[in-house]
Amino acid sequence: MFAVAITLVAPALALLAEVLADRASPGWGPRLHDGVRVVLLAAITLQLLNELDLEARRSIGIDAPGWGLIVLAGIAAIGILALLRRYDGARMFLRFLAVAAPGALLVFLSSAPLSVAPETPEARAGRPVPIVMIVMDELPTTSLLKTPDSLDAERVPNFARLAREGTFYPNATTVADQTTVAVPAMLSGRRGPEDIAPPDVVNWPQNLFSLLGGQYHLDVRQPITRLCPAQACPDEVPSTPSAVGSLASEAPRLAFLGVAPNDLARRSPLIGGADEHDPGGEVTDFLAKVGDEDRPTLDFLHVLAPHRPWRRLPSGRAYRAPGQDDVPESVRETLDLPGDRELALDLWRAHLLQVGYADRLLGRVIDHLQRNGMYNRALLVVAGDHGVSFRPGQPLRDVTPANIANIASVPLFIKRPGGRGRGTNPSPAQTIDVLPTVFDVIGAQPPSGVQGRSLLTPLRRDGRVRVLSTQSAYVETTLPELRAERARWLRAQKRDVIGSDLWKQSCRLAGSGC
């Protein structure tokens, strides 16, 4: 519906405006038509100029001012309009080109993944217990550590508490560098195809929600993925009016970002920004529904913490992070960190302070489960979906051979019912082991095709770590290499970030919670 409206209704409204303008005052219709053509031609030209500007910045370090590109695009549009007026061949070319709009619409509608999720046999739990699962976004293991195998109980006391009362896997690794693959892989026990598929139940039909939805009462909060079947999670399925309304509200902003020069477009911030959200509200809403039901419960929350923007102290209080005004727009746009050590340290510090807030949110979950009597009875799983890197000259998020230790290493905690299996487990765990481990605890049979292994049994792996990149290719390392690199970064974190004067300055702010 939205694609048809953009392709056909918007031009029809412009044509109607031209007809009405010409009837109101003869001659104004063609003038309005020329104005619309100039705006559209300028927008097309500006996209091309933005691409040239990006290539120039990458290759020779020259960055043209945004207003200059806009003026140049306007001049080019007026020149193209003059060309169209003077030459019949140019006008004929444009007429033939007009079929591209409905042609693109037909190609889009014929290739859109409009399908129904296949039926998935439901699993039956022989020992059903309440399941509470928290996935934290953009959290590397190093950000929680004091030594290569122990947590920093002073900075993250609730993670340390969970490690004492459950099992901590310090060598756990993710299988992908982006949420849209990492979370589905965790919940399905499969790596998935290298050709990255949408994170929905159609492409990942055998997942934790579809398999347990018949026996368990589901309360699922997933802001990015759509893995829960509609019949099991009706609240997660947006209505047609709300979906179209969301598209309509986002369209102007996305259209602007598609044509605006890089230095004039406001994009997602790294530290600070007007579009900041407080993940504490998500946790509050989630906990309001976590409680006893007539049948076993599966409560799942994917919380965007400590995900950017990084501007919260461990207490949750928002603050103006030192250095936030010096973050280049190119970092915000491409997530490729320039070779600037001070900038990397600024971002790293802001991230670690917000990790303290993520720890406080975890404490709220644990306290709530203890108050309602679920903590000792429940299976509690807390995991990170992927890490983040602050290595100068490397991407913040996209995995490369140089930053794989920061992206691949993610925390994993599993607290079994009754407090069984406490301690630190150095096994080479992977996030795809979560689903078979959950099934092992509740006495259910994992579905066929699962690549993960239950962490309740000894693991035999060759020590290879493979992470799927956004380029649909695997980046590999070994667990010993990853641990050695993580130890180096841990020393730098202690020396240059947590031990810095700026860290102490941030922690001296009122109500910091450090």
**Residue 21 in this model has a pLDDT that exceeds 90:** yes
Distance, in Å, from the CA atom of 209 to the CA atom of 365, rounded to the nearest integer, reads: 21
> What value, to the nearest 5°, has the Cα angle with vertex 380 and ends 377 and 386?
175
Decide: 329 and 260 in contact? Cβ < 8 Å.
no
Question: Residue 379: enclosing H or E segment and its boundaries?
Answer: strand 379-384
> Higher-confidence residue: 365 or 342?
365
Question: Residue 383: enclosing H or E segment and its boundaries?
Answer: strand 379-384
Query: Is residue 242 helix, strand or coil?
Result: helix
Section 235-247 average pLDDT: 79
Section 268-286 average pLDDT: 78
- The pLDDT confidence band at residue 456, using thresholds 50, 70 and 90, is very high
Q: Say what the pLDDT of residue 323 is.
A: 61
What CATH class has 133-208+269-278+309-362+374-507? Answer: alpha beta
- The pLDDT confidence band at residue 333, using thresholds 50, 70 and 90, is low
Q: Where are the domains of the chain?
A: 2-111, 133-208+269-278+309-362+374-507
pTM: predicted TM-score of the whole model, two decimal places:
0.85
**Residue 178 in this model has a pLDDT that exceeds 80:** yes
Q: Say what the pLDDT of residue 386 is.
A: 97
Section 91-107 average pLDDT: 88
- The pLDDT confidence band at residue 319, using thresholds 50, 70 and 90, is confident
- The pLDDT confidence band at residue 483, using thresholds 50, 70 and 90, is very high
The DSSP code sequence of 251-310 is HHHHHHHHHS-TTTS----SS--TT---HHHHHHHHHTT-S--SS-EEEEEEE--SPSS-
Query: Is residue 443 helix, strand or coil?
Result: coil
What percent of the chain has a predicted confidence (pLDDT) above 90? 62
Section 113-135 average pLDDT: 85
Distance, in Å, from the CA atom of 416 to the CA atom of 455, rounded to the nearest integer, reads: 12
What percent of the chain has a predicted confidence (pLDDT) above 70? 95
Structure tokens at 511: 């109500």
Q: Say what the pLDDT of residue 325 is.
A: 64
- Give exposure, 131-169, as e/b (b: 16+ Cβ within 10 Å): bbbbbbbbbbbbbbbbeeeebbeebbbbbbbbbebbbbb
> What value, to the nearest 5°, has the Cα angle with vertex 77 and ends 72 and 80?
125
Residue type, 144: L
Q: Say what the pLDDT of residue 268 is.
A: 67
Q: Say what the pLDDT of residue 274 is.
A: 44
Decide: 454 and 161 in contact? Cβ < 8 Å.
no
Q: Say what the pLDDT of residue 260 is.
A: 87
Please, what is the average pLDDT of the chain? 90
Least confident of 79-93, 107-121, 174-188, 287-301: 107-121
Residue with tokens 């390392």: 477
Q: Dihedral of CA 358/384/149/161: which sign?
A: positive
